[in-house]
Amino acid sequence: MYRNIRIIHLIAGLLTAPLMFMYALSAIQMGHRSWFRLNAAVHEQQVAAPADCRNPRALAAAIMQSRHWRGELSRITPGTSCSFEIDTLGTTRAIRYDASTRTLLVRTSQLPAIGLINRMHHAAGLWHPSAAMRMWAVVVALVSIACAALVTTGVWLWLLRRRERRLGMLLITANLLFSTLVLSLLRTG
Amino acid sequence: MRTLLLKLHLYAGLLTVSHLLVYAVAGLFATLQTSRPEPAAFHTSYVPFATAPSATDEQVAAAAWRAVHLPLTFPLSKSELQRDDQQNLVLEYYTVNGIDRLTVLEREQRLRIDRTHSGMLQFLNDLHTAMPGDWKKPRIMAVWAYWNEFAAWCLGAFSISGVVLWIMGRGFRWAAVFLIAGIGIFVAMRWLLR
């Protein structure tokens, strides 16, 4: 029994260790914003427009295809000089169509690595149109299930160990009492 | 050395059990959320409230807040005050239990109180974000936030100590496949999402 539970704990832990570390690091970053620099690197470029602006979605699709850009379309402003954004986590391309020159002004903002990790922490949900985001949502769900499994198997493993029983009981009781009390007080206002 | 690390891994885990479960619930909740979640229904009530003719908006807001005693909130700052289409002063308070909105109906000399009540999953999801340094909070919320930050540090430590414990132990070498898979998933997702 002990061996089997240990194997489950080990597999869940090793499989999700990089992602758990990412969540922990980004949580600490959000709690201590002054410790990290999140300034995005910005650069602008002008590119030929593959279509005009009558249908901003079609224009966006054409430019994404020709430039091999991925992402989700947002902030669409229709008109003769339409604008829109193509977003991936950590990278935003703000695009404006210039009708006089039939070109697109592309302003790309790219977050540093810690910024991308921050965005990954916030991203979830199976509703996203992009396949990569939906894939990420599945990963988030699996990490969450693994987290619950790690807690369950961890407590189980501790219960099967005699030596750490007394201090362990004190610690888990303290945590559960604290959480029950604080959450009840918060919930009832 | 390994025994000491194992004890720290175990005890820190037991000390943060409920927080880690909150993280798990928050992750599943976020996965199943829709792009535009149904707005929570407001429960509306009214209380009498007279404004002093010479009071500033900030003073009226503070008086309204004192009159209603909304739990887990603080008086709003000047920059947080809003007005609706009828130019009524609107005060919105966000808490882990939902949104509380006060509308000062000066002509009617009363306060409109609209309150939402988040479901349990939303409540837990909001709780997992609480950290000590990010905003002014009631003492009870601050207590939770400090333990939550401790749990976040522990989560990072668990992922490192777990791998180190496995490396220091003699068995289960085959489990390297799962660590490599985990790193692979992270690197692939990072590349795909960028």
Residue B168 in this model has a pLDDT that exceeds 70: yes
pLDDT of residue A24: 96
Who among B16, B140, B153 is closest to A175 (CB)? B16
Strand partners, A47: A104
Distance CA A24, CA A1 (A): 31
The residue-averaged pLDDT of B115-140 equals 86
Contact between A127 and B34 under an 8 Å Cβ cutoff? The reply is yes
Nearest CA-CA distance, residue A80 and chain B, Å: 29
Chain-chain contact of A144 with B26 (C-beta, under 8 angstroms) = yes
Find which of B3, B6, B18, B160 to mutate to test the A interface (most A CBs within 10 Å of its CB). Answer: B18
* Eight-state DSSP code of residue B46: E
- pLDDT number for residue A107: 95
Give the closest residue to A183 by CA, choosing from B93, B19, B24: B19
Whether residue A51 is predicted with pLDDT greater than 70 in this model: the reply is yes
Residue A16 · residue A147 · CB < 8 Å: yes
Instruction: Determine contact: B37 vs chain A, CB below 8 A.
Output: no
pLDDT tops 80 at residue B35: no
CB contact under 8 A, A189 and B15: no
B146, B137 in Cβ contact below 8 A? no
pLDDT value at B143 more than 80: yes
Residue B142 has φ and ψ, to the nearest 5°, of: -65, -40
Q: Do A144 and B172 touch (CB under 8 A)?
A: no
β-strand A83-88 against B82-83: which pairing, if any?
unpaired
Residues of A in contact with B140 (CB under 8 A): 182, 185-186
- Cα–Cα nearest to B92, from B65, B118, B52: B65
Write out pLDDT tens, residues A76-106: 988 888 899 998 888 999 999 988 888 999 9
Confidence of residue A152 (pLDDT cuts 50, 70, 90): very high
Tens of pLDDT, residue by residue over B43-60, are: 899 999 988 888 898 999
Do the Cβ atoms of A86 and A107 come closer than 8 Å?
no
C-alpha to C-alpha distance for A66 and A150, rounded to whole angstroms: 45
Does residue A53 contact residue A82 with C-beta atoms inside 8 Å? yes
**pTM for this prediction:** 0.86
Handedness of CA A126, A131, A135, A140 (dihedral sign): negative
> Which of B15, B185, B192 lies closest to A171 in CB terms?
B15
